[in-house]
Amino acid sequence: MSDKMETLTIALAQIEGSTNPAINLEKTEKAIKEAVAQKAALIVFPEMLMAVATQDIALQNHATPLDQGFARQLANLARQYTISICAGIWEKSCHPQKVYNTAVVFAADGKLLACYRKLHLFDAFALKESEIVVAGAEPPPLFTLAGFTIGLGICYDLRFPEHFRHLSAQGAEIILLPAAWYRGKMKKEAWQTLLRARAIENCCFIGGTSLTGKHFIGNSAAFDPLGVPLKNAEDKETIITFTASKKRLQQIRKTLPALTHRRNDIFG
């Protein structure tokens, strides 16, 4: 296998979202064009890409099934530009006033590769996501792209290391984290520290992309399995790319075989 086939270039799209899905879709297509120009095979958009949650909008009016509406438009864009897309959407649930906070992944042919419903709801820092969102009930999925096994989390999941240990134990080599990380004291430091920690402790590549703007920090970032920073954004709208290398991953895991040293007999 050639070195080219053992790498995957991923774009992290840091955008300032709005409550209007049509505006967000325009920004999505613009970012996709830029990612394609940078030869990325996968582009990752933030949580709430469909519409930023505010007290003024009813998310259930925006939410759709995975084969309709905004989700279908994402699938169409993936097919049109021949690029895989990971993004955060609002998905209809059985609850009349609540939705799922869902990360979807569409392949370059428009087929749905993965769907993850956020497990850990952000009831913290005076916010209460559980008032508008139904928590997921299934473990985070993994999918395969360009020979890499990839896992998913969403925003607040980052504070729960067992989520990421589960993914690495299932074979994850790259973990993607769409987020809408709110601004606040030490929030940027927490975001960057936790992203790096999850990469190091699970010996995997990680890419996290956050909304930016008045309420969100931006600062999208990627780290390699030793925690080496690969790319970092500030707080403006931008596209950053990083390349995951199978050779680099295997070298690190051979030199630092921490995942094989787990005491499953003690901790399960």
**Residues classed as catalytic:** 47, 118, 155
Burial of 54 (0-12, 13-18, 19+ CB in 10 A): exposed
Question: What CA dihedral angle connects 208, 195, 185 and 27, to 10 degrees?
Answer: 0
Burial of 58 (0-12, 13-18, 19+ CB in 10 A): exposed
DSSP state of 134: P
Q: Are 122 and 48 within 8 A, CB to CB?
A: no
- What is the rounded CA–CA span in Å between residue 261 and residue 256? 10
Beta carbons within 8 Å of 103's beta carbon, 6+ residues apart: 47, 86, 87, 88, 89, 114, 115, 116, 118, 152, 154, 176, 178
What angle, rounded to 10 degrees, do the helices at 21-37 and 69-81 form? 20
Amino acid sitting at position 194: L
Q: Are 98 and 134 within 8 A, CB to CB?
A: yes
Beta carbons within 8 Å of 72's beta carbon, 6+ residues apart: 64
